Structure 1
Amino acid sequence: MTQQDSSRLLRWALRLHPAAYRAEHGAELSAIYAQATHGAGPLGRLREAFDVAGHGLRRRTGLGSDRMAGQVLAQAAPLAVAVAAGGSVANLLWLFAPGNKILPSPSLPGVLVLVNQGLMPLLWLAALAAVCTGRWTLARALVVPATLLRLVDLPLLLAALPAVHGSGVHPSVVLNLAVPLLTGGVILAAPRDLLGSPRSRHGAIAGVTALAVLLGAVQLFNVFHPVPLGGPRTTQALWAGVLAVALLLGVRRDRLFAAGLAVAVLPGVLQCTVPLLYPLSPVGAVALLLVLVSSAVALFRAHRRRARATPPSVA
């Protein structure tokens, strides 16, 4: 990449900022870019240009570090990595489950499924390690290929098991696209200046990772030894319970962290509970009720806090 290409890339990145902000801070952003890329190679200049572009998009969408939405995403990002890492590890359990017909398959799709399922946890665990050490540039770089592997997971599975094609996979296709994109979007959209080394959150990150692995293991166990109520899919509603707890935590405790936790587990909730809603099963109705009640309580409490914080107007 030549210096001229780098300047053109910077101008493109600056155009993504709102016009008023660009007019006021454009020179400052250019100076920061020049300082950050001094002596850097093409990849370094490209990365910095994308950082500038991301900053502009966050300003346009209200996700800046000075906005509540940006602060919530900053809390959610490390937890979203933890959920994805734990979930990808739990997926490995399915490969080695009794009666699994993908692992011994000699076909190319079967081998690709195995490779894909093996690479995803490695990438997510590496991203999790980078998050815990505050290396967010590396973490975000790893999230991109991990998300792409997750997007091709279902097509590979359908190729490995052709009999699944006609068995109503359309909702799964939508979820297979929406869930990884939502997870990756949360991580990549979080304001970079709020993402440091989350030393105070290491316990929460480890706990969320363990929870994701545990829920995946419980769902697998329930397939072969279903609980009496609701059949093999009963444990899928547990993710709705996690979301309900996260929403209710915000009533009395760290509201910003609770909101971040709710955002982080939302993709898992969608993945597991949406199939329970159409057709609506008893377990799905319970999961939906949990989320609705906890959301209503959280919104009611938030409204009361705002009402108390607003000083009465003088007539």
Structure 2
Amino acid sequence: MNDVTTDHADPRTVRLLVALYPARYRAAHGEDICATFAEATAGRPRSAVLRECRDLATHALRLRLRIGPTDPAGRVLAGAAPVALALAAGCAGYFLLPQLRELVHRIRYPYPGLGLGHAVLDATLQTAYTVPWLLALGIAALGRWRSARIAGGAAALLSVGVLALTGLYPYTAGQMATMALVGALVLLAPAGLVDVTRRGRWEMVGLALAVALPMIAVDRYGAQHLLLPVLALLPIWLSAVAAPALLGRLSGGRPDRLRAAGVGLGALPWLMPLAAVAAFDRPARLHTLLQYAGACVAPLGAAVAVAGAVHLARRVRTTDPADPA
């Protein structure tokens, strides 16, 4: 039974975990943490001890990074994570759904000279880049954010790995940074603060559908009439989809400005490919890229302006003197 349970935690492990806490917090609560940890792990299976170690390390790092539930940064991340996950899942749906028929067709009828292995590899890479994001969104839509957070982190790792196989070009490097940032937002958000109420879950699903379905329709029926390629319009559309969520958080009677800032933060990672191109491409194109970045951010700025106008109109209405009888 010694390989299944443990009578007490290794003191060195406890000391290492407690050392992760900020010095002031460690001095005030270090002994209590050690006692509670020892009590919680006494006689427990090793898997349970590992979970306790993980939870303790996570709590310590959140306090050290000041992203806990009581920190402003924690509230910002709690607003950003579901939006970032929903937008990533929407993009995954946009990339995957129109390709499903072609992927199945190529497995049944491979290209001459390439063989079945090439078709299977292509299908595997496509699904590894997209399906995990859809799975993470599905788990979040069931209200299981802790599991969705793990699935989102795994999806980010898979996406970065698939992109790395295509070559480290500036735009691809920017895409890798986008996936890594989205995964970081999902993983770092305090689970207890993320909105997994029915309204919050419907909002995540609605954001994903609002990304995927219009972009699929435009790509299929209207791409030839656009001034920019569909992929170039994608970051602008993501910002436009996130704008109503930002407006809703800012225009209420008691606006949650920290969560609203998180909504904007959840949409910003998709500008990373632009930043990568601006950093490595010809300087002469920097002005054009800055204009494009401004177009991507404009819907969010418009939402902030409309929310400000709503609050101003509400304030004027409440301060107007009553009409004389």
Length-normalised TM-score, structure 1: 0.73
SS of the residue aligned with 1:63?
A: coil
On the 8 A contact 1:94/1:100 being kept in 2, the answer is no
Q: How does 1:76-225 map to 2 (within 5 A)?
A: 76-93=80-97, 95-96=99-100, 104=110, 106=115, 108=117, 111-156=120-165, 158=166, 170-195=169-194, 197-214=196-213, 216-218=215-217, 220-221=219-220, 225=223
Structure number with larger C-alpha Rg: 2
TM-fit CA distance, 1:227: 2.4
Percent of aligned positions that are identical: 30
Range with bigger deviation, 114-123 or 17-26: 114-123
User: CA 1:36–1:214 in structure 2 vs 1: closer, same or farther (change >3 Å)?
Assistant: farther
Residues 40-68 of structure 1, C-alpha deviations (whole Å, 9 max, x = no match) = 43333223322221222221222111111
User: CA 1:28–1:56 in structure 2 vs 1: closer, same or farther (change >3 Å)?
Assistant: same
SS of the residue aligned with 1:193?
A: coil
TM-fit CA distance, 1:21: 0.6
On the 8 A contact 2:77/2:188 being kept in 1, the answer is yes
Distance between the aligned counterparts of 2:297 and 2:38, measured in 1?
48
Q: How does 1:40-59 map to 2 (within 5 A)?
A: 40-59=44-63
SS of the residue aligned with 1:45?
A: helix
User: CA 1:207–1:289 in structure 2 vs 1: closer, same or farther (change >3 Å)?
Assistant: same
TM-fit CA distance, 1:18: 0.2
Correspondence for 1:230 among 228, 232, 239: 228
SS of the residue aligned with 2:192?
A: helix
Correspondence for 2:294 among 288, 291, 301: 288
Q: State the one-letter code of the partner of 2:141.
A: C
5+ long unaligned stretches in structure 1: 159-164, 306-315
C-alpha RMSD over aligned residues: 4.0
2:266 aligns with 264
User: CA 1:128–1:231 in structure 2 vs 1: closer, same or farther (change >3 Å)?
Assistant: closer
User: CA 1:83–1:239 in structure 2 vs 1: closer, same or farther (change >3 Å)?
Assistant: closer
Q: State the one-letter code of the partner of 2:49.
A: R
SS of the residue aligned with 2:134?
A: helix
TM-fit CA distance, 1:4: 6.2
TM-fit CA distance, 1:19: 0.8
User: CA 1:218–1:281 in structure 2 vs 1: closer, same or farther (change >3 Å)?
Assistant: farther
Q: State the one-letter code of the partner of 2:294.
A: L
TM-fit CA distance, 1:232: 4.6
On the 8 A contact 2:141/2:202 being kept in 1, the answer is no
Length-normalised TM-score, structure 2: 0.71
2:320 aligns with none
SS of the residue aligned with 1:64?
A: coil
TM-fit CA distance, 1:184: 1.2
Q: Does 2:19 match 1:15?
A: yes
Q: How many residues align?
A: 292
User: CA 1:199–1:245 in structure 2 vs 1: closer, same or farther (change >3 Å)?
Assistant: closer
5+ long unaligned stretches in structure 2: 313-325
